[in-house]
Amino acid sequence: MGSGPHRGLIDAGWLFVIAGLAVCGAALLVPAQQDLDVARTQQAQLKVHSMASTRQLVAYDTVLRGLLDRDPLLMRRLAANHLNLLPEGETPILLDPAGAEGSFDQWVQDATRVEIEPDSVASDTLLARISSGPYRLLVIAGGILCLFVGTLYQNGSEKSPVGDQVEPD
């Protein structure tokens, strides 16, 4: 067993290696995590759009079936909306004078309205800015430099094997 004043201390080279691995890992993983978050947000938005499109398709299909079956309620709505014809005894009521379109498209859009969540905001930390910004290559180079220094580092108390060699007479 080695006996010496530095027996229980950690070799400083390992600290450089660990720091280099952490820096390189951050420079590689943080931008990938940000891209994954963006992709997940886009996936959720596309899912909401898909559900809204499916609802609109079902609503248009319902209107089409009503037209083909000559649904009396639908026919009255069409006559009132496009031909300004009301059955006797009914009184016209103007609910929204600014947007009183009342077309099928407007009915379907109102019936299938879906709220879309805004994009999630990525956390803006110093690590995220450095590891995904214009200094990313410098961060990776610094991590590799730490790895290089850590692998070449030697404690000052240990002698190199070259210095221990005895020269022949």
The answer to whether 23 and 142 are in contact (CB under 8 A) is yes
Q: Please enumerate in sequence order all residues whose Cβ is within 8 A of that of 155, keeping only pairs 6 or more positions apart, or say none.
A: 6, 11, 12
Structure tokens at 39: 């992709």
Q: For residue 147, which of 3, 20, 53 has the smallest C-alpha distance? A: 20
Identify the domain containing residue 141 by its residue range.
12-87+100-114+127-152
Number of domains in the chain: 1
Q: How confident is the model at residue 36 (pLDDT cuts 50, 70, 90)?
A: very high
**Average pLDDT score, the chain:** 78
pTM to 2 decimal places: 0.59
Structure tokens at 87: 């059955």
| Structural domain contains residue 169 | no
| Structural domain contains residue 53 | yes
pLDDT, mean of residues 29-34: 92
Give 98-143 pLDDT, tens digit per residue.
444 556 667 667 766 767 666 666 678 888 888 888 889 999 999 9
| Structural domain contains residue 167 | no
Any idea what DSSP says for residue 167? P
| Structural domain contains residue 163 | no
| Structural domain contains residue 60 | yes
| Structural domain contains residue 5 | no
| Structural domain contains residue 62 | yes
| Structural domain contains residue 69 | yes
